[in-house]
Amino acid sequence: METKEKTCGIRAIDRFGYALGDMGGILTFSLVSSFLTMFYTDVLHFTAHSITVLMLVARIWDAVNDPMWGAFIDSRKPTRFGRFRPYILGASVPLALGAFLMFFKIPGLTNTQYLIFAYVTYIFYGMMYTGVNIPYGSLASVITSDEIERSSLSMWRSVGAGIGGLPAQILLPLLVFTTVTAADGSTAKVLDAGKLSVAVGCLSVLTVVIFFLHFKFTKERVTVLPNQKTGDYRFLQSVKNLLKNKPFLVLCVISMLLICFQMYTQTIYNYLFKNYYEKPGLYSVVTVCTYLPMALFLPVMGKLVRRFGKKEICAVGIGFAAVVNIVMYLIGFTPLAANPYLFLVLVFFSGAGQTFLVMEIWALVMDVIDYHELLSGRREEGTSYSLYSFVRKLGQTAAGAGVPAILGAIGYDGTLAAQTAEVTDKLYTASTLIPAGILLVMFLLLAFGYKLSKKELQKLHERLTAAQTTAEK
Q: For the CA atoms of the chain, what is the radius of gyration? A: 22
Q: How much is the pLDDT for 159? A: 87
Domains contained in the chain, CATH given: 4-222+233-472 (1.20.1250.20)
Q: At what angle do helices 340-376 and 246-271 cross, to 10 degrees?
A: 160
Q: How much is the pLDDT for 98? A: 96
Mind listing the pLDDT tens digit for each residue in 315-371? Answer: 999 999 999 999 999 999 999 999 999 999 999 999 999 999 998 998 898 888 888
Torsion of CA 49, 53, 59, 65, to 10 degrees: -150
Q: How much is the pLDDT for 5? A: 40
Q: How much is the pLDDT for 393? A: 82
Instruction: Spell out a b/e string for 47-86, using b for 16 or more CB atoms within 10 Å of the CB, else e.
Output: ebebbbebbeebbeebeebbbebbbbbbbeeeeeebbbbb
Q: Residue 190 pairs with which residues in a beta bridge?
A: 178
**Contact indicator for 427, 403 with CB cutoff of 8 Å:** no
**Contact indicator for 33, 174 with CB cutoff of 8 Å:** no
**Contact indicator for 210, 24 with CB cutoff of 8 Å:** yes
When pLDDT is averaged across residues 186-207 and rounded to a whole number, the result is: 89
Given pLDDT bands bounded at 50, 70 and 90, which one contains residue 4? very low
User: What proportion of the chain, given as a percentage, has pLDDT over 90?
Assistant: 44
Beta strands in 400-439 (DSSP E): none
Rounded Cα gap, residues 463 and 263, in angstroms: 38
Please report, as a single letter, which amino acid is at residue 271.
Answer: Y
Distances (CA, A) of 332 to 329, 336, 349, 418, 441: 5, 7, 17, 20, 22
Contacts of 26 (CB under 8 A, 6+ apart): 160, 161, 164, 165
Rounded Cα gap, residues 132 and 128, in angstroms: 6
Supply the mean pLDDT for the chain: 87
Q: How much is the pLDDT for 177? A: 87
**Contact indicator for 333, 275 with CB cutoff of 8 Å:** no
**Contact indicator for 142, 249 with CB cutoff of 8 Å:** no
Closest listed residue to residue 414, CA positions, set 136, 42, 30, 105: 42
Rounded Cα gap, residues 154 and 366, in angstroms: 9
Q: Tell me if residue 48 falls in helix, strand or coil.
A: helix
Mind listing the pLDDT tens digit for each residue in 95-128? Answer: 999 999 999 999 999 999 999 999 999 999 999 9
Given pLDDT bands bounded at 50, 70 and 90, which one contains residue 469? low
When pLDDT is averaged across residues 374-398 and rounded to a whole number, the result is: 81
| Residue-wise DSSP of 290-359 | HHHHHHHHHHHHHHHHHHH-HHHHHHHHHHHHHHHHHHHHHHTTSGGGG-HHHHHHHHHHHHHHHHHHHH
3-class DSSP string for 1-41? CCCHHHHCCCCHHHHHHHHHHHHHHHHHHHHHHHHHHHHHH
